[in-house]
């Protein structure tokens, strides 16, 4: 995986000294933050050497300098038997370290994307890892990458995390979020990538010249569509229409875009500028694009609606795939792992 002048590649024996020094720097920096996940005895050169001999160690390199590393392990992990996993077997990420000088620069993001793509290309349905309960930065990173906590591994004092990778499981997708957050654009991208039909709810609800469809008719039309389509991508909220519960029942995946208000407002302004005095392709004829104060207030004060959505999705967490994205960047990182190809340049 090449990232401008960066590259993720398979590690080799010539990297061991650099990796050992990186590990010491990282562990010492973690200790200063109060995270005693590892001692300075682990992971060190012997552990990296064993990983290299097993062809499972990968490094993030920039202009010849190693900034991060992780081990992609496929061996059974006895300590992992303490929790219930969703996948029957899965690769495991171990020994993920980033040089303290590169914290916050996206190195860990790239390593996790690489691991997810490598796992998916091998046919794995899930990807696992663990972290120390006090490692707040890692826990937040894993949540951003759609890893879910599966339980506590008492034998090694770690929290267990797992992420679903099965793109084929994305069959009936709902996309929710504030106007201007990019629901329609995301629906089109997923539809194209997954080769699935896309339905924009605005094209159904709004008739010519902004005439609204009757709620019961809207519900019936969506019910008919979902029965006829075993796969689809559907974007739009309409939370107070009876069809909302129907859509949640039919869906196997729900995506919620939880972006900051400023992101949604910017999206609305850009959309209005692009389609001013005309209508979008995802709207009915005569629905001329425009912004009024009521609509801006709806977008600016979407928070209560978002909380309503979150409350409704909470009971579905263990029944369906619920994906929540706080930023457009988080979404882009996830999209890179959907239908991705093997992403490793090897120098060994």
Shared-domain flag, residues 310 and 189: yes
Q: What pLDDT was estimated at residue 346? A: 37
Shared-domain flag, residues 27 and 158: yes
Vertex 127 angle, CA 341 and 112, to 5°: 65
Cα distance between residue 122 and residue 67, in whole Å: 26
Q: What pLDDT was estimated at residue 3? A: 46
Give the pair of three-digit tokens for residue 3. Answer: 């990232």
Cα distance between residue 348 and residue 51, in whole Å: 13
Q: Three-class SS string for the chain? A: CEECCEEEEECCHHHHHHHHHHHHHHHHHHHHCCCCCCCCCCCCHHHHHHHHHCCCEEEEEECCEEEEEEEEECCCCHHHHHCCCCCCCCCEEEEEEECHHHCCCCHHHHHHHHHHHHHHHCCCCEEEEEECCCCHHHHHHHHHCCCEEEEEECCCCEEEEEEECCHHHCCEEEEEECCCCCHHHHHHHHHHHHCCCEEEHHHHHEEHHHEECCHHHHHHHHHHHHHHCCCEEEECCCCCCCHHHHHHHHCCEEEEECCCHHHHHHHHHHHHHHHECCCCCCCCCCCCECCCHHHHHHHHCCHHHHHHHHHHHHHHCCCCEEEEECCHHHHHHHHCCCCCCCCCEECC
Each of the 348 residues of the chain gets a pLDDT tens digit; together they read 544 456 999 999 999 999 999 999 999 999 999 999 999 999 999 999 999 999 999 999 999 999 999 999 999 899 999 999 998 889 999 999 999 999 999 999 999 999 999 999 999 999 999 999 999 999 999 999 999 999 999 999 999 999 999 888 899 999 999 999 999 999 999 999 999 999 999 999 988 878 899 999 999 999 999 999 999 999 999 999 999 999 999 999 999 999 999 998 888 778 767 766 566 666 666 666 666 677 778 788 889 999 999 999 999 988 999 999 999 999 999 999 997 754 444 333
Shared-domain flag, residues 146 and 202: no
Shared-domain flag, residues 161 and 225: no
Q: What pLDDT was estimated at residue 74? A: 94
List of residues 6+ apart from 331 with CB closer than 8 A: 182, 186, 257, 325
Q: What is the CATH number of the domain that holds 71?
A: 3.40.630.30
Structural domain includes residue 146: yes
Q: What pLDDT was estimated at residue 293? A: 72
Give the pair of three-digit tokens for residue 139. Answer: 């826990």
Shared-domain flag, residues 41 and 158: yes
Structural domain includes residue 325: no
Q: What total of structural domains would you count in the chain?
A: 2
Structural domain includes residue 291: yes
Shared-domain flag, residues 290 and 198: yes
Q: What pLDDT was estimated at residue 200? A: 95
- Domain ranges, residue 11: 2-165+341-346
Structural domain includes residue 94: yes
């Amino acid at each position: 995986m090449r990232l401008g002048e960066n590259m993720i590649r398979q590690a080799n024996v010539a990297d061991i000294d650099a990796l050992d020094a990186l590990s010491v720097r990282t562990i010492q920096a973690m200790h200063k933050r109060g995270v005693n996940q590892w001692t300075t005895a682990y992971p060190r050169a012997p552990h990296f050497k064993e990983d290299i001999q097993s062809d499972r160690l990968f490094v993030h390199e920039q202009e010849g300098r190693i900034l991060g590393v992780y081990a992609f392990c496929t061996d059974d992990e006895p300590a992992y038997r303490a929790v219930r996993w969703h996948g029957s077997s899965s690769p495991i990420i171990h020994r993920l370290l980033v040089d303290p000088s590169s914290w916050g620069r996206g190195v860990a993001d790239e390593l996790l994307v690489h691991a997810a793509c490598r796992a998916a290309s091998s046919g794995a349905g899930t990807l696992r890892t663990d972290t120390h309960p006090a490692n707040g930065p890692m826990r937040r990173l894993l949540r951003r990458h759609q890893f879910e906590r599966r339980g506590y591994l008492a034998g090694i004092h770690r929290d267990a995390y797992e992420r679903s990778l099965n793109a084929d499981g994305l069959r009936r997708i709902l996309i929710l979020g504030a106007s201007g957050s990019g629901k329609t654009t995301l629906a089109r991208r997923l539809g194209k990538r997954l080769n699935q039909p896309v339905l924009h709810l605005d094209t159904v609800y709004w008739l010519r010249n902004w005439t609204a469809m009757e709620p019961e008719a809207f519900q019936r039309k969506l019910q008919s569509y979902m029965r006829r389509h075993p796969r689809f991508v559907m974007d739009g909220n309409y939370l107070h229409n009876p069809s909302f519960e129907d859509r949640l029942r039919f869906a196997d995946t729900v995506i919620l875009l939880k972006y900051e208000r400023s992101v949604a407002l910017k999206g609305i302004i850009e959309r209005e500028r692009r389609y001013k005095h005309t209508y979008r392709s995802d709207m009915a004829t005569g629905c001329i694009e425009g912004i009024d104060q009521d609509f801006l207030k709806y977008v600016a004060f979407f928070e209560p609606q978002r909380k309503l959505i979150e409350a409704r999705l909470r009971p579905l967490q263990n029944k369906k795939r619920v994906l929540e994205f706080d930023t457009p960047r988080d979404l882009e990182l996830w999209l890179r792992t959907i239908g991705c190809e093997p992403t490793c340049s090897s120098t060994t």
